[in-house]
Amino acid sequence: MSSTLCKSSIWLLLLGTALSLLWQTAPAQEPPSLNPFENGCDQKPRDDSMPGYLETSDGRIHAGQLFLTRDARLKIYDEERKRQREVPLKAIKRIDCTISKEWVEKEWRFKENASDEKYYTGRSYPAREYTHKITLQNGQAIAGALSAIVYVQADAGKDPERYLLHKRDKGNLGTDLKSLVYVRSIQLGEKEFEEGKRKAVHAKSK
């Protein structure tokens, strides 16, 4: 009887050791990484993308499929209704940006760490504030401060370009206001997409 129990104990010990070694040597199963574009660079356009074009303040035209980060919406503060609104891209006809204020900001620094006295470094940078107007497909307009990231994919299989829409912006030290490029307008629709392609070709030929 004791011999049988001894053999059983040895067998259980060997089985436990084998399972422990198998657990240590098995490759760890890591969860798949999240892709904010989710098929943004596949051959087929994303189901939440919209054809159209984006124009920047330097006159460049970027036509293609436009989309936001998956499940994101454009967030705009409606000045008329005094509340934050979230608008899906598919509900939008166009977005227009106007400059509400721009200036050149001087760079100031404290003379010493423990001092409240500042001095001008001789350098400056451009700064701006914007107001955006969203025109919906039904003709309704919403104007106010906008915050969003818009992607433009010119061709299937290519990485999308990223553009930031926001209320405030500033450039690098030593640059001027002209160099502070911003998104002037976005127009959505098949007709607008074809128009954007024509404008892009015309701009390149200049």
Q: What is residue 43's predicted lDDT score, i.e. its pLDDT?
A: 52
- Cα separation of 57 and 183, whole Å? 6
Q: Is residue 9 part of a domain?
A: no
- Beta carbons of 112 and 85 less than 8 angstroms apart: no
- Beta carbons of 149 and 162 less than 8 angstroms apart: yes
For the cut 90, the answer to whether the pLDDT of residue 203 exceeds it is no
Q: Is residue 4 part of a domain?
A: no
- Cα separation of 152 and 186, whole Å? 10
Using pLDDT thresholds of 50, 70 and 90, give the confidence band for residue 31: very low
Q: Is residue 35 part of a domain?
A: no
What CA dihedral angle connects 90, 91, 93 and 99, to 10 degrees? -100
Per DSSP, 33 falls in state P
SS3 175: coil
Q: What average pLDDT is seen over the chain?
A: 84
For the cut 80, the answer to whether the pLDDT of residue 38 exceeds it is no
- Provide the domain count of the chain: 1
- Cα separation of 184 and 58, whole Å? 9
Q: What is residue 16's predicted lDDT score, i.e. its pLDDT?
A: 57
Q: What is residue 41's predicted lDDT score, i.e. its pLDDT?
A: 45
Q: Is residue 28 part of a domain?
A: no
For the cut 70, the answer to whether the pLDDT of residue 65 exceeds it is yes
Q: Is residue 47 part of a domain?
A: yes
Q: Is residue 198 part of a domain?
A: yes
Q: Using a pLDDT cut of 90, give the percent of the chain over it.
A: 62
Helices in the chain by DSSP H: which ranges?
A: 2-25, 190-205
Q: 141 or 3: whose pLDDT is higher?
A: 141
- Cα separation of 148 and 133, whole Å? 13
Using pLDDT thresholds of 50, 70 and 90, give the confidence band for residue 139: very high
Q: 41 or 122: whose pLDDT is higher?
A: 122
Range of the domain at 67: 41-205
Question: In DSSP terms, which residues pair with 110 in a beta bridge?
Answer: 118
């089985």: which residue's tokens? Answer: 15
Q: Is residue 32 part of a domain?
A: no
- Beta carbons of 3 and 115 less than 8 angstroms apart: no
**Who contacts 194 (Cβ-Cβ below 8 Å, separation ≥6)?**
none
**What is the average per-residue pLDDT within 171-195?**
96
Q: What is residue 173's predicted lDDT score, i.e. its pLDDT?
A: 95
- Cα separation of 59 and 4, whole Å? 88
Q: What is residue 26's predicted lDDT score, i.e. its pLDDT?
A: 42
Q: Using a pLDDT cut of 70, give the percent of the chain over it.
A: 77
- Beta carbons of 164 and 149 less than 8 angstroms apart: yes
Q: Is residue 15 part of a domain?
A: no
